[in-house]
A and B are shown apart, each in its own frame.
Chain A
Amino acid sequence: MRKYGFVWGIPLVLFCIGLLLQILLGDFRIDALAFPRNVLLLIQFILIVVAAHVLFRKRNWFKQLSQFPTALSSIAFFGAIVMAMAFIPQTYETSFASIHALNNTWLFAFSLMYLLTVLLLVQLRRLFPLNRRNLLFFVGHFGLWIAIAASALGQSDKRQGIMTVPVGELVWYAGDNSGKNMELPFALKLERFQLENHPAKFAIINTHGDICELKGNSMHEAGQGINCNIGSYVIQVKSYYRDAVIMSDSIVPEAMGYGSDVALVEVSHYTDNPITGYISNGGPMQSSRFLQLGHDTMLVLLPPEPSYFGSDVLLYTQSGLIASPQHIAVNAPIKAEGWYIYQQAYDQNSGKNARFSVFLVVRDPWLPLVYIGIVMMMLAAIVLLFQKPKYRVE
């Protein structure tokens, strides 16, 4: 191991320089590397490494840079930074040496750069002869290289924003991270917002509003005709409405999306007299209603959990200027003018009659390269599934 001492010195030196730069200059500004700077940097980097390989590949010290100890030192250096990120909360608040935003630091940048350099050197050494083993090696290692390089350098060209679109209105801008509006090459008009909820659940809460963890079941799905136990309470549903409003002496069972889950329940507890009453999880027209069971316990319907939400929109693009009807939902984004549009949130206070829908818009021109890297790594992983290492002997 001793003759490889210097390859462990490299991350140590990089660590010291990185820390010094971090303290003197502040964060590593990846956004300063926007196109075309990132492309030029990448080309320079590859040229320098290839030139070094051509010039020095016969030298002993250079050979060591593409051998196992160097690989280990580069994985360990990057791993150490990732480990720090795993233990220190990454809240992105201002802190000494940016320890709460480590992926913005010089240390992180240097560890990636070292990893990329070693990966590239190793591939250059293993490029020839062209055989099956070297090809598999290339697919796995170069896949990782391209995925890391493209995602790191692509950061500076990535644009992201939040688009809040009220029902019936046309919006062509999005708020970015700093709160400023940026104009988009497309516009969205929100035609209709759709929301579906899971059936509400019964739970017993205490006066602090915490759900009581009871033996057996702590919650139970509500529904017409349900008869269930929560702890030692027996709950019988007399009637159940998905979208109702409780008036002073009656019920509006169909409230056109303005109501909430409402249940008429009878609760028995051992030999006590059963208690009957309406409960509701509350909505735009009414506050929630509970049933008092003991002096510090009450039966409630928990707030609804969405099972589905999506938006019908008209999409206007700069190139076409033709309105095309589209549907955007969670897990089903659409693409326009190089931007991905994601359903992100909605007007939760109004529930099914949401007055606006919230979209995340992302433009990431380096994405295809990242995907190429990911696919290469996947191919290598599939082959690796069926491989065996060269075993050590006693």
Chain B
Amino acid sequence: MIWDWLIVFFIAFVALWVTGGLFLFYKKNTVCAKHLPVVLPLIASILLLVFIVIIWIQYNRPPMKTMAETRLLYSFFVSLITWFIVVKTRSSSMYLLGFVMASVFLLVDIAKPEYQSKNLMPALQSVWFVPHVVIYMAAYAVLAAACLSALKGMWNLYVRKKVFVADLNFAMSLIYPGFALLTLGMLLGAIWAKIAWGNYWSFDPKETWALLTWLFYLFTMHAYLGRKLSSKTLLWLLALSFIVLVITWMGIRYLPAASHSIHVY
């Protein structure tokens, strides 16, 4: 069973990130400290990609159907995007937060792999399936990074009583690509729905929640640009928007409004 191997990949993943992290945090002025925090997490991300490709080959279909599979894909994107942020900013707190987030999702997968649902129903056998899911997972990962940056801002604001606008600005610089990916994922989904089900939008509970998530981020962006809401309110808005996003992704099946959604899996 391929999922049994996830734990091996996970240990390697953690070992690489922790080693890179140690050099990032402690050995500040050496050649190793310069390169290892960049190289090791990248290898870790590539390992996850290899695991995804192995499942893809073994199942003979894209591993993007079950919750466990989307979590795996998400961990990969979170680690990749965190890597990208670390390369750009050398931010050790983003390194830590991104690593913890990717690891938590991998741990959930190890505890609950849900490997039994392997079959792909005809409606999912579409060229739109992979771009729709991949773009959404990438959007979720970027927006998670934005939320982490907002949490860092809250920490600075409430605990350390320091300035936090830099954290807010960084979060907002991630909201742009995150919102763009969210928009693309949603519109690709609409086109696919037209081809598979005959309607591009039908207010299926998952669609309604995806629209709500999109509107939350749309509101946040306009509130930031409009300079009418305080920076503190914006931090809270960013965190709230991400909560709505997580409900859209994982919470739908627990809501009474979604008992007959086509997206419940």
Chain A interface residues (CB < 8 Å from chain B): 1, 4, 67-69, 71-72, 75-76, 78-79, 82-83, 85-90, 103, 151, 160, 198, 201, 217-221, 305-309, 329-333, 340, 342, 344, 360, 362, 367, 370-371, 374, 377-378, 380-382, 384-394
Q: Which residues from B are CB-within-8-Å of A393?
A: 165
Selected A-B contacts with CB under 8 Å, 7 pairs: A72-B223, A329-B122, A330-B123, A331-B125, A385-B176, A386-B177, A392-B168
Q: How far is the CB of A341 from chain B (nearest CB, A)?
A: 9
- Contact partner of B183 among A4, A88, A377, CB < 8 A? A377
Given contacts A219-B116, A330-B122, contact A342 B180 (CB under 8 A): no
Q: Is the CB of A79 within 8 A of B222?
A: no
Chain A binder among B26-34, B41-49, B68-76, B251-259: B251-259
Q: How far is the CB of A45 from chain B (nearest CB, A)?
A: 21
The 3 residue pairs across chains A and B that have the minimum distance between CB atoms: A68-B226, A330-B122, A384-B180
Give the CA-CA distance A309 to B197 in the complex, in Å. 14
- Contact partner of A71 among B121, B126, B200, B222, CB < 8 A? B222
**Chain A, Cβ-Cβ closest to B118:** A221
CB interface residues, B 119-143, toward A, < 8 Å: 119-123, 125-126
Q: Which residues from A are CB-within-8-Å of B1?
A: 217
- Contact partner of A389 among B116, B172, B199, CB < 8 A? B172
Given contacts A90-B208, A306-B122, A360-B198, contact A374 B219 (CB under 8 A): no
Cβ contacts B206-233/A at 8 Å (1 or 0 each):
0011011001101101111111100100
Q: Is the CB of A381 within 8 A of B184?
A: yes
Q: Is the CB of A85 within 8 A of B208?
A: yes
Q: Is the CB of B122 within 8 A of A151?
A: no
**Chain B, Cβ-Cβ closest to A370:** B200
Chain B interface residues (CB < 8 Å from chain A): 1, 115-116, 118-123, 125-126, 163, 165, 168-169, 172-173, 175-177, 179-181, 183-184, 187, 190-191, 194-201, 203, 205, 208-209, 211-212, 215-216, 218-219, 221-228, 231, 255-259
Known contacts A72-B228, A381-B179, then 8 further A-B pairs from the complex at CB < 8 Å, ordered by chain A residue: A79-B215, A89-B256, A89-B259, A151-B200, A331-B125, A344-B198, A381-B184, A394-B165
Most chain B CB inside 10 Å of its own CB: which residue of A220, A385, A394: A385
Q: Which residues from B are CB-within-8-Å of A71?
A: 222, 226
Q: Is the CB of A392 within 8 A of B257?
A: no
**Chain B, Cβ-Cβ closest to A341:** B198
Q: How far is the CB of A346 from chain B (nearest CB, A)?
A: 11
Give the CA-CA distance A308 to B201 in the complex, in Å. 24
Q: How far is the CB of B251 from chain A (nearest CB, A)?
A: 11
**Chain B, Cβ-Cβ closest to A67:** B226
Q: Is the CB of A331 within 8 A of B195?
A: yes
Give the CA-CA distance A378 to B223 in the complex, in Å. 22
Q: How far is the CB of A269 from chain B (nearest CB, A)?
A: 20
Q: Is the CB of A342 within 8 A of B215?
A: no
Give the CA-CA distance A73 to B113 in the complex, in Å. 43
**Chain A, Cβ-Cβ closest to B191:** A374
Q: Is the CB of A72 within 8 A of B222?
A: yes
**Chain A, Cβ-Cβ closest to B122:** A330
**Chain B, Cβ-Cβ closest to A76:** B219
**Chain A, Cβ-Cβ closest to B179:** A384
Q: Which residues from B are CB-within-8-Å of A88?
A: 257
The B interface, classified by DSSP as helix, strand, loop or mixed, is helix
Give the CA-CA distance A331 to B124 in the complex, in Å. 8
Q: How far is the CB of A89 from chain B (nearest CB, A)?
A: 5
Give the CA-CA distance A386 to B177 in the complex, in Å. 7
Q: Which residues from B are CB-within-8-Å of A333?
A: 195, 198
Q: Which residues from B are CB-within-8-Å of A307?
A: 119-122, 125
**Chain B, Cβ-Cβ closest to A218:** B116
Q: Is the CB of A86 within 8 A of B212?
A: yes
**Chain B, Cβ-Cβ closest to A304:** B119
Given contacts A309-B122, A382-B184, contact A4 B228 (CB under 8 A): yes
**Chain B, Cβ-Cβ closest to A305:** B119
Q: Which residues from A are CB-within-8-Å of B187?
A: 374, 377-378, 381
Q: Is the CB of A83 within 8 A of B212?
A: yes
Q: Is the CB of B183 within 8 A of A381?
A: yes
Give the CA-CA distance A83 to B231 in the complex, in Å. 24
- Contact partner of A78 among B169, B194, B215, B227, CB < 8 A? B215
- Contact partner of B225 among A68, A79, A151, CB < 8 A? A68
Q: Which residues from A are CB-within-8-Å of B191?
A: 371, 374
Q: Which residues from A are CB-within-8-Å of B218?
A: 75
Most chain A CB inside 10 Å of its own CB: which residue of B183, B195, B205, B258: B183
Q: How far is the CB of A90 from chain B (nearest CB, A)?
A: 6
- Contact partner of A362 among B199, B225, B257, CB < 8 A? B199
Give the CA-CA distance A199 to B211 in the complex, in Å. 37
Q: How far is the CB of A130 from chain B (nearest CB, A)?
A: 21
Q: How far is the CB of A280 from chain B (nearest CB, A)?
A: 19
Give the CA-CA distance A78 to B138 in the complex, in Å. 26
Give the CA-CA distance A382 to B118 in the complex, in Å. 33
**Chain B, Cβ-Cβ closest to A87:** B257
Q: How far is the CB of B129 from chain A (nearest CB, A)?
A: 9
Q: Which residues from A are CB-within-8-Å of B223?
A: 68, 72
Q: Which residues from B are CB-within-8-Å of A330?
A: 122-123, 125, 196
Q: Which residues from B are CB-within-8-Å of A329?
A: 122
**Chain B, Cβ-Cβ closest to A88:** B257
Give the CA-CA distance A385 to B179 in the complex, in Å. 8
Q: Which residues from B are CB-within-8-Å of A384?
A: 176-177, 179-180, 183
Q: How far is the CB of B230 from chain A (nearest CB, A)?
A: 10
